[in-house]
Chain A
Amino acid sequence: MAILECKALSKRFGGIQALDNVDLTVEPGRVVGLLGPNGSGKTTMIKLANGLLTPSSGEILVDGKKPGKDTKAIVSYLPDKEYLPEWMTAKQMMDFFEDFYSDFRREKAMEMLARLGVSADMRIKQMSKGTREKVQLILVMSREARLYLLDEPIGGVDPATRDYILETIIRNYNPEAAVIISTHLIADVEQVLDDVIFINNGRVTLQSSVDDIRGEQGRSVDQYFREVFKC
């Protein structure tokens, strides 16, 4: 069964149509890029999937259920901005995740933090921007979720941090779970993706596999995207 399904999903904010009649499905075991320019509806889609927003019309289902208490237990979400208070230490963050999520695997997080050289008593305040991004991703990927929603995980980070983030996503690959990565930096993520969803002005214009696009177009998804979304 699909882990994420949208049926004629629409979302309006006042007069603005953020998502317009979106139909799509994401199967477990896939790493999917949600690709579109700024303001195309990527974040709206992710917030609908984790229940932070409700649809204006249509339906969104996670593992066959409407977003709510049950789905939040199986959805691991990385927001596009920092949300953990600066005074927290790595240990306190792990306590926090452990309290909220029964699928949080503390040993896994500790191992990844150790490899990164972050000690348990280090405060967020003391971490560089790149380290903060990595630590947040570690927390999110240390849950044994069925659906990971990563909103712009590589926006504004240096190439070494980007490589670390992509490697962490691959390292934690689970055939039972799907990963959705929203980004407009396609060239950087293309080779870790199975499928891509193109979204523009709230409409899904394409859902295909990376290698199908490359095979049919004779060029990368990034090059194809640039043509489709030419300003």
Chain B
Amino acid sequence: MEWEFRTDLPIYSQLVGKIKLDIVSGALPPGTRLASVRDMAMEAGVNPNTMQRALQELEREGLVYSQRTAGRFVTEDIRVIEENKRILARDQLDGFLKAMKELGYDREEIIALLKEEK
């Protein structure tokens, strides 16, 4: 039930990463109302202050917004979501390219391999 956390990173930044992934992948669609901080903290099995800090970070990045009385929502600004998705894709790609270069592949060979892949 609880989320799994890596040991080498702060917990709040891993919460930011997980919720961000849920937003860009559409698991949390634009405009979705988020559960209360306490409920989200219980679901993740973390301290409410840590969850609060993660949500504030997501707010700062424009991925969620809060309305004084109604609670917190996923942004309806599709551009912000797409932009974040691209950044995450870029990170994946950088990691992949780095690993392939270590294996000795150059750009052309990587593209050829990708085309072979179904």
Binding site for B on A (CB under 8 A): 29-31, 163, 166-167, 170-171, 173, 190-194, 210-212, 214-215, 218-220, 222-223
Contact = CB atoms under 8 A, between A and B. Distances in A.
B49 A214 contact: no
Interface stretch (B3-11, B65-73, B97-105, B110-118): B3-11
A170 B48 contact: yes
Of all A-B residue pairs in the complex, the 6 with the closest CB atoms, nearest first, are A211-B10, A220-B7, A214-B10, A215-B10, A191-B46, A173-B48
A31 B45 CA distance: 13
B48 A166 contact: no
Contacts of A29: 49
B8 A218 contact: yes
Contacts of B10: 210-212, 214-215
A173 B38 contact: yes
Interface string B70-108: 000000000000000000000000000000000000000
A170 B7 contact: no
B43 to A, nearest CB: 10
Interface residues of B, number: 20
Contacts of B48: 170, 173
Given A170-B46, A210-B50, 12 more contacts: A163-B2, A167-B42, A170-B38, A173-B38, A173-B41, A173-B47, A173-B48, A191-B11, A193-B47, A211-B12, A218-B8, A220-B8
B49 A30 contact: yes
B45 A214 contact: no
A192 B12 contact: no
Given A191-B11, A214-B8, A222-B7, A170 B2 contact: no
Nearest to A223: B7
B45 A191 contact: yes
Interface of B: 1-2, 5, 7-13, 38, 41-42, 45-50, 53
A212 B10 CA distance: 7
A211 B51 CA distance: 12
Contacts of B42: 167, 170-171
12 contacts: A29-B49, A31-B47, A170-B45, A170-B46, A170-B48, A192-B45, A211-B50, A214-B11, A215-B9, A215-B10, A218-B9, A220-B8
A170 B50 contact: no
A29 B47 CA distance: 11
A191 B5 CA distance: 9
B109 to A, nearest CB: 34
Nearest to A213: B10
Q: A171, A191, A210 — which one has the most chain B CB atoms within 10 A of its CB?
A: A191
A181 to B, nearest CB: 11
Contacts of A211: 10-13, 50, 53
A191 B7 contact: no
A170 B41 contact: yes
A219 B45 CA distance: 19
A173 B13 CA distance: 21
